[in-house]
Structures are given as C-alpha cells and as structure tokens.
Structure 1
C-alpha cells in the first residue's frame, strides 16, 4: 500500500483501485477504509484513491493525537493531493468523512473539480438533526421484523436513557440481511481515541465554512438513502442549500451504505455526476 508524509510527519497510507480519472475518497468513522470496498463497482468507471485516515488502517498513529480533530485532517487531504501531483481533484467523502471533504473545499476551493458527499454528515455546516426527524424516518421501517426492538433502543438513546447502538444497527442498511450484518461487523472503528477526538472543541466552524461554501464553484452531489437515519433526506436537502451548484439525490430503499443496498443504482448515479 503506498504511503506519503503528512505535514506533521505522520506516515499516511492510501489504496488505489480501478482505472480512469482519479477520485480521492475520504472514509467516515474514523474507521478503517476497507468498509468502502470499491464503492459497489465505481472502480470500473474511475480510479479510486482511498485515504486511510490517521490512526486507522495502515496509516500511523500521530505523535500529537489532537491532530485527530476533523479540521486538522484537512491538511492530510491536501498533502495527498500534492503527493499525487494533481492540480485539482474530484473529491468524494462518506459519512463523517464528508466533514473533512466539506472543510477541504471551503479551504481550498480552487483545488476541487467536483465534490460528492455520500450519506453526508451535516456537522461541518452546523445543521442539527433532531430526534423527531430520526423518529419519523425510522417509522418507514415499521414492517421489518427487527423494528420493535430497534425502535425501542432508538427511543432510549434519544431520551438519554440508553446507549444500545448495536440494537439500532438495522436502521442503517436498506436490507438487514447477511451481507449487511457482515459489513456492520467489519466497519466498526478500531481506534476509539480517534473517534473521541474527531469532533473535539474547535473541529467545526459552521459560520465561516458556510461563508466559504457560498462561493464554491465546483458542482456538488449530495447522495443519501431514503432510510438513512444518520443523514436524513430532509437534512441533506438543507445541506445542499449551502452550495451554489448542488444536486440532491435520494436513493430509494437505501440506508447509510447505499452502494451495498443497490450497487447498480448507486454507481450509475455517482459515475454520471463525476462525468459532468
């Protein structure tokens, strides 16, 4: 796996799969990037350059662990771009990684040709997702056999009386089948310190980020699943308003990992955007 050196001296790794023009991909979590796979076959259309966030996968643990903070990892993306020798990049982020990607385009708008935010987190732009929004969205799954237990656990989390995130896992996939359960087991964060410090105080500056995004010239895709409790369609729609040229797409019957729920639909939609 190829590596490069971040500005603070940390050795970071990335993987390269597929052919065609490159797309730099930033995973969520922070967790090992292996959970992205080849994004359902997107690698047949584009070369995927997938960063291992610091302290995850094959990237080193930094000496200064405060550098796990989201805004500080923007410099890692810029260092990767420079390492690759690309004057501009197509940039794709998933989940928490969209916070890094969003802050990257806010800080380096001239370096981004296209921006794809998949299952976007809205923290970088200060959009709060309410328990009521998640409650209403969860009701779409009420015919599922796992719904009663998962819904009860979700309610307890919202009320602050419970923390059984494992019980609510089925909500994050369009189908809670063997493939989803295997993917869930493989996508759990291995570096809890990186997770804890990702959103530390100072990680997000919504006001200044929004101001910068208002002049973003790159076309932006925000793609979320119809059932995605992490990135509800209504919240993604509000996020889209922060960009001058944004397209919101809601993938039917998909959760937080839309390339697993319907790979063909996801790849066709994302590849078409990247061809613009």
Structure 2
C-alpha cells in the first residue's frame, strides 16, 4: 500500500484501482477506503481511482496538526461532493456544507439513495460523475460527505 506525507508530516495511505486518468476519491467514513468503496459503480472501467484513507482511518496515521480545513481551501482542482438523499447519517445539508470548504466545488444529491449511492443506483451515480468529469477534465478530486 502506497503512502505519502501530508504537508504537516502525517502519513496518508492510498489504494489504486482501475485504469485511465487519475480520480482522487475521499471516502466519508472511518474505514479503509478500498474496503468499502469497491469500484464505485463501475468507475474503475473509466478512471484510475486513488482511494485515500483519511487521517486516522484505515492505514493512515492520526494527524500531527489539525490544519485540514486550511489545506482544503488551497486545493485548486474542481471537486464534486456527492451524497445520497436518504442517507441516515450525513444529511444532504452536510454535503453542501462540505462543498463550501473548497474554492471550486459543486454538490450533487442522488435521489432515493442512501449511504452507498454507487450501490443504490450505479447508473445515476456514474452518470453524475461522468457529467462532472466532462465539465472539469483532467485529474480531479471527488469527495463524499460522511
């Protein structure tokens, strides 16, 4: 499992799946990203997913310095935050608030989906992501509110 060091020195683990242009995926939960995200409704057929284990989750270390929000504000890549309409944990409002942390973000709420929208309706999920990618182009970041 590859690891890189964040600006504050925290070691963050990531897992690679698929082929094509890079797509960084931030999971919403406290687990190893590759364990529960799977192929994200078939996205691995179109993109090379970089599944990041967030700080203190999966194979990543606990943060050395809580400067995460400041780091997100410096991110210049377009970001898609996607949430399920019926998710019992994080409500769509949280996804909208998470999108506000990025300078170039949009939020999408998948109708009728719960906590795993890529499983509830893979066609809608991959269509939404494909539309975003077509608009944004290149190597991007996709986050999911948790």
1:236: how far off?
Answer: 5.7
Corresponding residue for 2:128?
Answer: 269
Structure with the larger helix share:
1
Cα deviation per residue 1:56-110 (whole Å; 9 max; x = unaligned)?
3223x45xxxx377x43x3xxxxxxxxxxxxxxxxxxxxxxxxx6xx5442x14x
Number of matched pairs:
133
The structure-2 alpha-carbon separation of the partners of 1:27 and 1:225, relative to structure 1 and needing over 3 Å to count, comes to: closer
Structure 2 gap ranges (5+): 136-146
Tell me which structure has the larger Cα radius of gyration. 1
Measured in 2, the distance between the counterparts of 1:11 and 1:54 equals: 8
SS at match of 2:50: strand
* Residue correspondence of structure 1 range 1-276 to structure 2 within 5 A: 1-33=1-33, 34-59=35-60, 61-62=61-62, 67=63, 71-72=66-67, 74=68, 104-106=71-73, 108-109=74-75, 111-112=76-77, 114-118=78-82, 224-233=83-92, 235=93, 239=97, 242=100, 247-276=106-135
SS at match of 1:275: helix
1:252: how far off?
Answer: 2.4
Structure with the larger strand share:
2
1:8: how far off?
Answer: 4.7
Whether the 8 Å CA contact 1:240–1:246 is kept in 2: the answer is no
| Further displaced range: 48-57 or 265-274 | 48-57
Measured in 2, the distance between the counterparts of 1:14 and 1:115 equals: 18
SS at match of 1:13: strand
CA RMSD of aligned residues (A): 3.1
Measured in 2, the distance between the counterparts of 1:46 and 1:58 equals: 23
Structure 1 gap ranges (5+): 75-99, 119-223
TM-score relative to the length of structure 1:
0.41
SS at match of 1:267: helix
1:2: how far off?
Answer: 1.5
1:6: how far off?
Answer: 3.4
1:49: how far off?
Answer: 0.8
Greater relative contact order (Cα 8 A, min sep 6): structure 1 or 2? Answer: 2
